[in-house]
Structure 1
């Protein structure tokens, strides 16, 4: 989601551009975006498909050597707070245990175990910020109990494939350097990684000596998601994308729906008038947790299932447009997540040259804005370019053939990734490694500091 400061800076220009076009633009809900040919009839934002051992097959005449796994966190609470929403969010079924121990082997043990909890007191208007947050035990953007279960189940499904069926990963993880784990610095992505690992290796203890290292980058140098502060050109490119007449035609064609929803939610400001993210976040999180559709304070006007469906289509249109279809999409992706794509490429190459030790699995726990740009860079097909669902899983498998050459297979939500019609640059069921890494090179900044300035 764009920063408020960025949105404010471009609001005036967009408003002027929109005003010049509004007279010729339809104000019905059903703006024609059929040219994208999205088949979203089976789209389930609330739950991604899992890999399945019953349908999983190996690449013929090859040996699996290495797996990179990029996942989106599970179900979460809203990332934007809409005051006055009379709902309850609970996140206390799973314990968030933190084990503390000195890393100096010779020191006296100073271990302790704490259980992290969120407390939201019952406001009486006297001491707190009355009516500014929901009831329950969840923080903003926190992984729900459902979300933790989703990632645990994903881990169990991965275990059934890579441990039970292939004997690729160990039954017991006694050598933690066989696994590399990195997450963005958010509670929900860390919890997702923990839940997933618990599903792959459910019999592990919690002793500090056997803990799997989990790496994060400081926010100032994060590359697994857009880093607009470090790379201002990311926002400028986004601004240029949404300023185009085709995007504004689509956007203004939805103005009636946006006006209705902003009235129901009693929200205003550029973050609610320029992008669909806030509306998608509010409606989708409620739907996934059976909270019902929101109504205005008086209860006289409510969002409908048709409204929700159109928001879904708008969000999907916006997603593919900026990450795959606009002429500036490649530039935007390079700035948004190109450095992380470079990390994935380099890790594949380093494995081949023997510079990764005994590493077998690299897990990256991120967001829809981690997976989506990568799918866009690969020119994923229309169905695969829908917004990544909770627990979406993108897998790069490295296989070695008998002639010692290598191929990469790309799986998305349990299936070989299908490419956009007219962009069949490789067969991702077995793409030669050199072809794959050379293709990725176009999305890796040669000098990120220069490109971002």
Structure 2
């Protein structure tokens, strides 16, 4: 479990537009004499200077050994002066870099293709959030959000004529690493601060260069904006959450153990509850599970039966794009045989961009890898070959990739893939229903991946067969309805003290990509709110989730599997 650490009442890793950069003194553009210079930023140590740089004889003309008292006096004075000077440089440099960073991110966040909003980003639309039928009160919200924009997870199409960059200089912000270092008893715990810079295989480096699959500056900005949208919706518009977070038990934040999701969640938190709106004693932790316990995405690592099914049905391992090199041996045979023929007509247009090789589901690069690179480039306003701007071309590749990953919708795959996550959701909702106000938890935010969102939608039969955009999100909202006192007759009102109180009704609404989802499992009469099919009764919702929950996870995940019912 990771926790947000507060230092001087400031949560670490703030949103890019507010990032004070580093707390180490930087000699970024000038040397110690004030002369303009170029090169890699230099870290100025904050320890006292070597003794020979502060010799009293250097200022007075005296022999250094003539006056030990004078020597000590001058040493202390010069040391204090240098510390003050360095503090001044620190503040000036931090302010300058902060302003430059804010302007840079403002420019970056407005990037778009042909002046239009980014196609591959899905911000939360507060203005179009639909109202609810009278009498329904929001009780709890579960949010699953994909991380922000990132670099491709592999280097593809870097050569001519595609010329998509191999190195992406788009990670200039939040390069600070801060780790708690246990000091001596008389010193106490301290923080070790440094900067992270990507080193290339030839030993060279470029500040601001991103790792493969890393959250970029644009991704940090978009996830921070997502957090501010959550604040506008659930605090400013609906008044559901408190304006200031006074107690950490009102919120729940969890992420997969990947840097891009963890950093995305940090920025979402800062947008939802900035430092000024978070009580020092209510700093929310960020929860992370061990790989064997992870359920935000299909866990093929700890469920061999699921891996067997995915390979057999050519869906591809859900972890494939997260740990691509580890799953290079997974060859989706069925999807390849079914969809490679549909990709063959694209060879004349696209093969020149991938070294003359054909575009195939199981090709090198894989069709999913091509789409990954193209989408990441387009999201960052990087020019892609014109053929990849053709909707027909992109749609053809997307259909093949979707089939590779999500074509299998058998009950066993649904149960082993998303069953445990849905069971977590169902149990937490039921706990809120049973304990009411005694359960203070109001909002749960999970940072996940495109595969997690698509698998959830596919499991519940509402997947639109489109790859989830960056910052796309799914929400499950729990509503409570009590008896309407205005609808009671006079006789009912008179007799009300003598009859049992009507139990409240509960409903669940699923939303994806700013749209209400009408769940097929709640389509029958009596399984949803009359006149509002998107509001599934909690009873119907939990009944279906129970069917999707593994009875014995370990037994069902054995390579041979085991019938659960």
Is the structural similarity TM-score above 0.5? yes
* Deviation string, structure 1 residues 128-181 (Cα, Å, up to 9, x no partner): 7xxxx9995211111111111111111111111110122111111121121111
Which of 247, 252, 261 lines up with 1:180 in the alignment? 252
Change (3 A) 1:108 1:54: farther
Give the conservation status (yes or no) of the 8 Å contact 1:53–1:160: no
Structure 2, gaps ≥5 residues long:
1-115, 315-331, 484-503, 559-565
Give the conservation status (yes or no) of the 8 Å contact 1:223–1:340: yes
Which of 430, 437, 440 lines up with 2:542 in the alignment? 437
CA distance in 2, matches of 1:193, 1:203: 15
Counterpart in 1 of 2:46?
Answer: none
Give the conservation status (yes or no) of the 8 Å contact 2:478–2:506: yes
Counterpart in 2 of 1:449?
Answer: 554
SS at match of 2:152: coil
Counterpart in 1 of 2:455?
Answer: 373
SS at match of 2:246: coil
How do residues 146-225 of structure 1 correspond to structure 2 at under 5 angstroms? Answer: 146-204=218-276, 209-225=281-297
Deviation (angstroms), 1:321:
7.3
Which of 183, 193, 196 lines up with 1:114 in the alignment? 193
SS at match of 1:272: coil
SS at match of 2:381: coil
CA distance in 2, matches of 1:176, 1:273: 48
CA distance in 1, matches of 2:287, 2:456: 21
Higher alpha-carbon deviation: 388-397 or 441-450: 441-450
Higher alpha-carbon deviation: 170-179 or 257-266: 257-266
How do residues 350-429 of structure 1 correspond to structure 2 at under 5 angstroms? Answer: 350-354=431-435, 357-380=439-462, 382=464, 385-403=465-483, 404-419=504-519, 424=523, 427=528, 429=534
Higher alpha-carbon deviation: 368-377 or 273-282: 273-282
Change (3 A) 1:101 1:107: farther
The number of aligned residues is 390
Counterpart in 1 of 2:136?
Answer: 62
How do residues 25-424 of structure 1 correspond to structure 2 at under 5 angstroms? Answer: 46-53=120-127, 55-82=129-156, 85-95=164-174, 110-112=189-191, 114=193, 117-120=196-199, 125=202, 127=203, 136-204=208-276, 209-242=281-314, 248-257=337-346, 261=350, 264-266=353-355, 272-273=363-364, 275-293=366-384, 303-306=387-390, 309-316=392-399, 318-319=401-402, 323=406, 326=408, 328-354=409-435, 357-380=439-462, 382=464, 385-403=465-483, 404-419=504-519, 424=523
Counterpart in 1 of 2:23?
Answer: none
CA distance in 1, matches of 2:210, 2:410: 36
CA distance in 2, matches of 1:412, 1:218: 27
CA distance in 2, matches of 1:151, 1:59: 30
Change (3 A) 1:419 1:345: closer
Structure number with bigger Rg: 2
CA RMSD of the aligned region, Å? 3.6
Give the conservation status (yes or no) of the 8 Å contact 2:197–2:206: no
Change (3 A) 1:441 1:319: farther
Structure 1, gaps ≥5 residues long:
1-41, 295-301
Deviation (angstroms), 1:88:
4.2
Change (3 A) 1:159 1:256: same
Deviation (angstroms), 1:64:
1.1
CA distance in 1, matches of 2:347, 2:416: 29
Deviation (angstroms), 1:331:
2.4
* Deviation string, structure 1 residues 352-408 (Cα, Å, up to 9, x no partner): 2229831111111000111111111121153xx411111011111111111412111
Change (3 A) 1:137 1:286: same
CA distance in 2, matches of 1:321, 1:137: 32
Change (3 A) 1:320 1:174: farther
Change (3 A) 1:112 1:381: closer
Change (3 A) 1:438 1:358: same
Higher alpha-carbon deviation: 52-61 or 157-166: 52-61
SS at match of 2:222: helix
